[in-house]
């Protein structure tokens, strides 16, 4: 998964607040709904590592389903897969349309990278980066 895409999604979803909770009940950095978190094995949505890994698994599934159509992937991430299927693309929801535009704008600003690497620091903390060791 592209590190800069994940970075753009986290920025829009939670502005990097691991304790964020939306009015709809989405939780954590990547704003996973409880059912989605459970589906992807995320037991603590406020744990940044678990939340990012669950969000990335969801993104990978959507990426495969929509064959890399980033606009549909982002729309499904925000509005749900059913809404994208129902409308054959980005649903006519203002929130979703703004979401897709904001994530894409940030993604283009950040520039694309090829992958996210996960490392443990000397102190045992988890580090996500787009720079290989």
Cα–Cα distance between 120 and 106 in angstroms, integer?
A: 27
13 in active site: yes
Given 4, 12, 13, 55, the catalytic residue: 13
Strand partners, 68: none
Integer-rounded Cα Rg, in Å, for the chain is: 14
Question: Which stretches within 15-79 are classed as H helix?
Answer: 34-39, 48-65, 70-79
* Catalytic residue numbers, as ranges: 13
């Amino acid at each position: 998964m592209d590190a800069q895409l994940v970075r753009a999604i986290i920025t829009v979803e939670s502005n990097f607040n691991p304790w964020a909770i939306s009015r709809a009940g989405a939780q954590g950095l990547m704003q996973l709904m409880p059912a989605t978190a459970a589906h992807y094995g995320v037991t603590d949505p406020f744990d940044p590592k678990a939340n990012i890994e669950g969000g990335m698994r969801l993104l990978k599934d959507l990426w495969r389903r929509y064959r890399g159509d980033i606009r549909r992937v982002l729309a499904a991430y925000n509005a749900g897969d059913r809404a994208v299927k129902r409308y054959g693309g980005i649903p006519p929801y203002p929130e979703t349309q703004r979401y897709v535009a904001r994530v894409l704008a940030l993604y283009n600003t950040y520039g694309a990278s090829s992958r996210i690497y996960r490392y443990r620091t000397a102190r045992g903390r988890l580090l996500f980066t787009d720079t290989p060791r």
